Amino acid sequence: MSELTWNHLSILQKEVFTILENSFSQNRLSHAYLFEGYRGTKKKATAELFAMRLLCLHPKIESRPCGMCPSCKNASEDVHPNLFWIRPDGETIKKDQMKKILAEFSKTALLHQPRICVIVDAHKMNTESANTMLKFMEEPTADAYFVLITEQVDAMIKTILSRTQVLHFKPIARQILTKELRAIGVSERLCLLIPEYTNDFDSAVELANHPMYIEMVDFANTLYIKALAKKESLLLLSKSKKELILSSNETFDFFITMLLVLQKDVYHMKKHLPSLVVDTIDIELITQLAKRSSQSMIEELLQQMLELKSRLRYHINQSLAFDNLIMHLERGLQYGI
């Protein structure tokens, strides 16, 4: 299992794995790493693999754990005595939690192997606990390693940052996410559009399987089709979907994003840039709409959608905003002016 995952992960996070593999092979392992990046970029998985590799009794290639020895089999938290995971106790990681680990690390290991401490949500360390760790990091003992994980690198205390090797985990590229979704059988339009909303693989899968979100993607598509046909009032059409879309800030945000993606595609089409179109299976629809609308109208609609998206975080009358948007869409797409 570990070998497969290592391969897989090293594609998703090429730079990180290059650095780690080189460090292993050159004996240049740092005693403190900070894995930082957005949600869903596989930081925890990498930390686990890193620990496994350090603890593995029979590593295969320089940097990969074998996955078979008792150490690898037990290399999850709570089972391996040399592997420690620290998580926030409530809102913060407290000083006592760090002190315990340091007391542990000031002695030699029970099992004569390296020891790894993984700190999840490291930005939640308060200054006390962070500084408790700092001193240790200045003069670490030979076989102790820290891996800090955070999604908010900006919230990290600077003095810790400068003592760790910071490994940046990139968001999973859109194309890769699309591929991954396709691989698990998600329908094409969803594969293309959902990565526009989120980079987090797990979230994406969740959304792609959620009937509510599937419905919203379809409806956005329908709106544009009907707009082209010019036979029905979009406002009337959207009445039945309104409740669904406005059921939460997230759903509204999602819906607006779906419209935004389509609108952006129309914009790119207008500018004769078909390669930048995201929703490739609806290219006909997009081309038609681009022809009909003037550039300024397309931009205006785009601007409105973006503004609405950012205003969402304030208390606005969402019902009104929704109707407004549909009306503008109607006017803009149907009449092109």
Nearer Cβ to another protein, position 98 or 216?
98
Q: Which residues, numbered 284-323, are part of the site for another protein (CB under 8 A)?
A: 291-292, 294-296, 299, 302-303, 306, 309-310, 313
Sorted by sequence, the CB contacts under 8 Å of residue 90 that are 6+ apart come out as: none
List C-alpha distances in Å: 144 to 52, 114, 281, 303.
14, 6, 53, 53
- 103 part of the interface to another protein, by CB under 8 A: yes
User: What is the chain's Cα-based Rg?
Assistant: 25
In the bound complex, what is the minimum distance in angstroms from residue 240's beta carbon to another protein? 26
Which listed residue (11, 91, 158, 185) binds another protein by CB under 8 A? 158
- Contact flag: residue 246 with another protein (CB under 8 A): no
Q: Pick between residue 57 and residue 236 the one whose CB is nearest to another protein.
A: 57
Residue 117, SS3 per DSSP: strand
Which contacts of 198-201 are long-range, i.e. CB under 8 A and separated by 24 or more positions? Answer: 198/40, 199/38, 199/40, 199/41, 199/171, 199/172, 199/174, 200/38, 200/39, 200/40, 200/41, 200/172, 201/40, 201/172, 201/177
Cβ burial of 251 (10 Å; 0-12, 13-18, 19+) is middle
Running DSSP on this structure, what letter comes out for residue 30? Answer: -
The span of 85-93, 216-224, 232-240, 261-269 binding another protein (CB under 8 A) equals 261-269
In the three-class reduction of DSSP (H, G, I as helix; E, B as strand; rest coil), residue 254 is classed as helix
1, 231, 272, 284: which one contacts another protein (CB under 8 A)? 272
User: Which is nearer to another protein, 8 or 311 (by Cβ)?
Assistant: 311
- Shortest Cβ distance from residue 23 to another protein (Å)? 5
What is the smallest separation between the CB atom of 232 and another protein, expressed in angstroms? Answer: 19
> In the complex with another protein, which residue's Cβ is closer, 131 or 233?
131
Q: Give the angle subtended at the CA of 162 by the CAs of 82 and 199, to the nearest 5°.
A: 75
Name residues contacting another protein, limited to 115-134 (CB under 8 A).
127-132, 134
Those residues whose C-beta lies under 8 Å from the C-beta of residue 329, and which sit 6 or more positions away, are: 223, 227, 234, 259, 301
Report in angstroms how near the CB of residue 306 gets to another protein at its nearest: 6
Region of 43-51, 155-163, 178-186, 319-327 interacting with another protein (CB under 8 A): 155-163
Q: Output the six-digit token pair for 135.
A: 């001193």
Q: Give CA–CA dist 30/144, Å, rounded.
A: 10
How buried is 1 (Cβ within 10 angstroms: 0-12 exposed, 13-18 middle, 19+ buried)? exposed
The contact pattern for another protein, residues 38-77, with x = CB under 8 A and - = no contact, is: ----------------x---------------x---x---
According to CB under 8 A, which residues from 164 to 183 bind another protein? 164-168, 170-171, 173-175
Stretch that binds another protein, among 136-144, 182-190, 209-217, 225-233 (CB under 8 A): 136-144
DSSP code of residue 330? I
Least Å distance, CB 55 to another protein, is: 11
Least separation in angstroms between residue 46's CB and another protein is 15
The answer to whether 248 contacts another protein (rule: CB under 8 A) is no
Using CB under 8 A as the binding rule, whether residue 231 contacts another protein is answered as no
Residue 109, token pair as written in the block: 């290991």
Residue choice 85, 145, 146, 219 for contact with another protein (CB under 8 A): 145
27 binds another protein (CB under 8 A): yes
How many binding residues for another protein (CB under 8 A)?
92
Contact by Cβ (8 Å): 197, 260: no
